[in-house]
């Protein structure tokens, strides 16, 4: 089985978790229709406070369902949309994608990966200890952020639960994901 959309979520307010939907509409250059984080310029409150004119590289938040599996096996009781993600995937190594990879979702939508979600302390407000659980270290001691990836909408379209996802890699050399 290939990569698929497991769940989609949207939130009109700047609350941490997002409401589950059967589908979401992606709008080119803006993000998820009706989502508080949609916009040409950055919409995350902490980033707006620093520079409201910076481009919004965080229009769509994706988390891999395998992370939910890992967290739930550790006793966290994490649900789709709970970590603020717009799209929950399965069967795709999101963290292994390079910057600029394009994800074709369903029959219309195309998003471009911009970087890693930088986990914040709000995770602990959702589930105590979750911030630490989504951070790890590799063999060289480098920090690994597991809380998902961010993307911009290149081509709008409807994204539904069960939609297939295919990956279009950028030209070489590939750049690893960094926090955005």
**Mean pLDDT calculated for residue range 132-147:** 95
What residue ranges do the domains of the chain occupy?
Answer: 4-168
Residue 46 has pLDDT above 70, yes or no: yes
The residue to which tokens 């597991």 are assigned: 146
CA trace torsion 119, 27, 38, 51 (10° rounding):
90
What's the chain's average pLDDT? Answer: 96
Tens of pLDDT, residue by residue over 120-130, are: 889 999 999 99
- Burial (CB count within 10 angstroms: exposed 0-12, middle 13-18, buried 19+), residue 47: middle
Q: Where are the alpha helices (DSSP H) in 74-145?
A: 122-126, 130-133
Homologous superfamily of the 4-168 domain (CATH): PK beta-barrel domain-like (2.40.33.20)
Q: What is the number of other CB atoms lying within 10 angstroms of the CB of residue 57? A: 15
31 band by pLDDT with thresholds 50, 70 and 90? very high
Exposure of 114 in the CB half-sphere (CA atoms within 13 A): 19
User: pTM here?
Assistant: 0.96
Strand order in the sheet with 60-64: 19-21, 4-10, 87-90, 60-64, 149-155, 109-116, 102-105, 165-168
**Mean pLDDT calculated for residue range 127-150:** 96
Q: Which of 109, 123, 106, 91 is nearest to 151 (CA)?
A: 109
Any idea how long the chain is? 180
Rounded-to-integer distance, Cα 90 and Cα 66, Å: 7
């Amino acid at each position: 089985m290939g990569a698929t959309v497991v769940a989609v979520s949207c939130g009109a307010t700047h609350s941490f978790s997002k409401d589950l939907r059967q589908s979401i509409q992606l709008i080119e250059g803006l993000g998820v229709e009706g989502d508080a984080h949609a916009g040409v310029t950055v919409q995350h409150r902490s980033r707006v406070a620093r520079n409201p004119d910076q481009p919004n590289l965080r229009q769509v938040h994706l988390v891999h369902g395998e992370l939910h599996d890992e967290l739930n096996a550790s006793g966290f009781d994490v649900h789709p949309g709970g970590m603020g993600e717009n799209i929950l995937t399965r069967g795709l190594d999101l963290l292994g994608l390079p910057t600029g990879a394009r994800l074709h979702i369903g029959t219309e939508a195309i998003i471009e990966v911009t970087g890693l979600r930088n986990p914040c302390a709000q995770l602990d407000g959702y589930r105590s200890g979750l911030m630490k659980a989504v951070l790890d270290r590799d063999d060289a001691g480098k920090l690994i952020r597991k809380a998902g990836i961010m993307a911009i909408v290149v081509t709008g379209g409807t994204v539904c639960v069960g939609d297939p996802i295919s990956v279009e890699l950028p030209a070489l050399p590939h750049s690893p994901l960094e926090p955005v």
